[in-house]
Chains A and B, each alone.
Chain A
């Protein structure tokens, strides 16, 4: 009985997944009737409602990659640093305080991060850097980075704390300092968990929608600097889908973007799985 229920549950999940993939492809592939795949992926001109329309998504792909890379540049040192502190350095008391606070960051809804970016960060950046607009790749990266920190931090911390105690003791016994032990013994031993956490953080950042709609600026261009606005793929899909005519080329193009996004996250997940699998062997 119990076996039956759990089996049905897992089967249902798989069916839903395949349903989503099937819809994605059946709605997304028809765009190739209107534009060839090379232009779709390599042209930076995105004018979907113009006549004649341009369906090039390169600027959207670049937009996604720029904000995601920026987010990771911020989140990796912060997340990894706090993971090392919590797992290796902090005493029990400070560990008990800091850990839940960092994890609290993960519980804040993304629209709240977006509001913070629009109302506080963007005007602040205009004043500090003297840039014309505060809605750009840089501010989106900062906010996304803060959102990704708890993912990297808590997963890396888990990985670090599963490293056997005797490895550390052996290292100290050989006369290594605490710093040398962390960098040369503990981190390499926890490598796969740390890499996995970064991959998950990447997935979170590239898939995040609300924050980039609100703060990335939404300009479909290849940015010349990080202070220029960009239009990540998720922002384009979410803000244009609501008002496009179902079955129009624009509609199919948005699904086409979703396929590209799906492939990017799918490949990242594969790499993560691979890293974990290697560890188990």
Chain B
């Protein structure tokens, strides 16, 4: 009897995932920035539709786009647009990458609460990060050396910052490289001369945000595109989404899905 129960359990463990796989599966891979959105929405979507199984993996934007081109996933996540080179090679293989914008993401330049600097230009931020400006007095602040705080070079947040602000110039080697948005905000809160950047969702009252080119970062200015350090987050499908993938992406774009997007620290699509 005991053996029988064990055998049955083993059988169930193996058989259930195999049977469940059939037909009702969506596979997703790609950007780690989009990952929390995909995970959180997939969880709710699977609760609402227990017959559907979604598997979500990270890997990075390049991995997401490569996976769509190879046909190994239904949805490829990317925190950037597809590159012309990637698009051309996809077309060659008869794949038609289709961009679904699922969220907005804005990056806020953050400084210490006691710092009286209120706004900076994009150019000044670049000069600070490349080392041309090294004291706050050069941008109208107190006489205090600037402590430059950046994110790890493989993070999605660094990628946007690098593209929009640094324009691919090298960040000074003395910059502190921290592992998370939270670490950046916590460190700035305790470091008087610090400047750093983080996703809008991580901003709190312990630090100050600065205006960039006279625009204050907010949900509204990021959605309408007037705040410069912002981007859209994407889920790529082969052709316009169909079937299950369409149901899932429609769910993300619904009011309920966009609420989850905001809970994850991103900004909803207008």
Contact = CB atoms under 8 A, between A and B. Distances in A.
B187 A219 contact: no
Contacts of A45: 173
Given A218-B152, A243-B32, A132 B183 contact: no
A239 B179 contact: yes
Nearest to B177: A218
Interface of A: 44-51, 59, 118-119, 122-123, 126, 132-135, 213-214, 217-221, 228-229, 231, 239-240, 242-246, 250
Contacts of B147: 132-133
A22 B58 CA distance: 26
Binding site secondary structure of chain A:
loop
Interface in B202-260: none
5 contacts: A133-B193, A218-B177, A218-B178, A243-B154, A250-B154
B191 A229 contact: no
Interface string B141-166: 00011010000111110110010000
B176 interface: yes
Rank and list the top 3 A-B pairs by shortest CB-CB distance, nearest first: A218-B177, A123-B190, A221-B173
B25 to A, nearest CB: 23
Contacts of A246: 59, 63
Nearest to A223: B174
Interface of B: 32, 58-60, 62-63, 144-145, 147, 152-156, 158-159, 162, 168, 170, 173-179, 183, 186-187, 190-194
Contacts of A48: 153-154
B175 A244 contact: no
A46 B60 CA distance: 20
Contacts of A220: 173, 177
Nearest to A220: B173
A106 B147 CA distance: 33
B190 A243 contact: no
A66 to B, nearest CB: 15
A50 B158 CA distance: 11
A228 B168 CA distance: 25
A132 B145 contact: yes
Contact of A126 (B62, B154, B192): B192
Nearest to A210: B179
Nearest to B178: A218
A218 B179 CA distance: 9
Given A51-B168, A59-B173, A219-B175, A243 B155 contact: yes
